[in-house]
Structure formats: structure tokens, C-alpha cells
Structure 1
Amino acid sequence: ILSLGIFVNYWSYRNFKAIKERDNSSIMPIARGIFAFLWYYPLYLALAEHSQQQLNKNRVMPNWTALTLWLMILASVFAYRMD
């Protein structure tokens, strides 16, 4: 309630901003933050890859869990908007 429903967008923006700075890539963190529901799984893949490089182990979550959550997010966003 206090974040007005934009916490996920802000969290996604901040993570993509850190990835952009780390990799010196040309991604647009603001656009990815706005469309966070579309970029959830690619963000997970970037975080899992970083975890694999740093710790030699995926400490984020299993791939099937991330994919399932992403599909649930997409389904809920589209169901909400088809009201």
C-alpha cells in the first residue's frame, strides 16, 4: 500500500542498473523497470549467471521455480488487465 504498487518496478530498475554498470552494457534499466513483468525471467538469468560466476553455484533459486513464477506473474498481469 505504501509503495503504491511500484516496488517491483523500482526493484527491477535498480537491479538492471547494477547489471548495466557491472557489464557496461547498453540496456535501458528504466524501460526494463517499467515493464518488469516482462523482464522478470531475464533478470533472474542474469542474477543466476552472476551467482554462478562468483560462487560456482546458483544461490538464487532453481530455474524451474523462476520460470514458474514468471509464468504466474504474466498470467496474473494479463488476467488483471482483461477485466
Structure 2
Amino acid sequence: MAPMFFVVSVRKLLVMQFFTLGFYLTYWGYRNWKLYKAATGARVMPLVRCLFNIFFIYSLLAKVDRRLDDEGRGHAWSPAWLTFTLVVSALGAAALYKWVSLFPVMSLIANFGLLIVQSLALAKIQRGINFCEADLTGKANARLTPANWAWIAPGALLWVVSVVMTVSLVGGA
């Protein structure tokens, strides 16, 4: 049976989320919606749903939760709270953007903290999806591929540049 949702190991998800500065969430959303559409024939547009992921994340989690309920398999999670956490962390990061030039160190620390909060929520979500797809560890998609490394390299460089620029801004003040 074809998967309905995107399986990935939590470790790989977190590495990709961190080193793509959160952009992996867009790809992750696309893959989830594309698989859901293929498995159910639902009239959804994966590209639109991934680009506006923040508006569709609850719908995705509710579909995972409904499938688990339909199969009589419970999972310890709250789609509503996980969605709330992702939305608040995304809005927080957007709000901090304008403060970067005024308070560079605090902004960098706060953004890093929000990325951690977002990543913890994503880890919990992915455990739920992996449980739903009967691949608890995400073994089917645990290895980093050359394409993953192609995303990791520039992301790592951006992290280094961000830290160096922040240190130089503070040192020059």
C-alpha cells in the first residue's frame, strides 16, 4: 500500500530543518500533500498548500489524526497545540526580523530559540506521521542524500555568515 504521508526520520528532519534555516518545512509540506493527494484522490493543490503551509498544517495533522482514529490506533499528540506552536514560532520569527539591525545578538539568539521550538514541534509531528505510516523510526527515509547535502551546504554557510556578521556588528558598536 502506498504511503499517505511523508515518512522521514526525526533526526534527518531536524538536520534538514536546521541547516535549511526552516525552509525544509516547505518541502516537507509539499511531500505530505502530494502523497495525500495520490493516496486519496482528494482535490488538493500540494504546491499551494506547501507555500501557505502555516494555513494548512492543522488540516494535515487532522487528516493524520483521523486516519489513526479510523484504524483504532491512538497517538499521544495534539494537532491543535502542535499547530499553535508552529504558527506562534513562525510569527515570532517574522516579528523579530525588523529588530535584527537594532539588537543583532538578541535577535540571533531569539531566532535560534524559535527554530528550536519549531523543530521540537516538528519532531513530535513527524513521530505521529511515522507512527501512522507504521515506520516508527522513519527508517525508509533516514539517510542524507546528495540532494540533502546540496541544501545543507549553503544553509551551513548562511549560519556561519549570520554569526560572523552578528559578531562583527557587536564588535563594531
Instruction: State the TM-score bracket (shorter-chain normalisation).
Output: 0.7 to 0.9
Of 95, 98, 112, the residue aligned with 1:82 is 95
Instruction: Find the structure with the greater CA-based Rg.
Output: 2
In the alignment, the residues of structure 2 paired with residue 77 and residue 70 of structure 1 have an alpha-carbon distance, to the nearest angstrom, of 11
Of 50, 75, 80, the residue aligned with 2:67 is 50
Q: 1:68 Cα deviation (Å)? A: 1.3
Aligned residue in 2 for 1:14: 31
Cα RMSD of the aligned pairs, angstroms, is: 1.8
Question: Is the 1:49–1:58 Cα contact (8 Å) retained in structure 2?
Answer: no
The one-letter code of the counterpart of 1:57 is: R
The change in CA–CA distance for 1:44 and 1:78 in structure 2 (over 3 A counts) is same
Structure 2 gap segments, 5+ residues each: 1-17, 97-173
1:32-71 aligned at under 5 Å gives the runs 32-53=49-70, 55-59=71-75, 61-62=76-77, 65-71=78-84
**TM-score using structure 1 length:** 0.76
Structure 1 gap segments, 5+ residues each: none
Runs of 4+ in structure 1 over 2 Å off? 1-5
How many residues align? The count is: 79
Higher relative contact order (CA 8 A, sep 6+): 2
**TM-score using structure 2 length:** 0.41
In the alignment, the residues of structure 2 paired with residue 6 and residue 58 of structure 1 have an alpha-carbon distance, to the nearest angstrom, of 30
Q: 1:82 Cα deviation (Å)? A: 2.3
In the alignment, the residues of structure 1 paired with residue 90 and residue 62 of structure 2 have an alpha-carbon distance, to the nearest angstrom, of 21
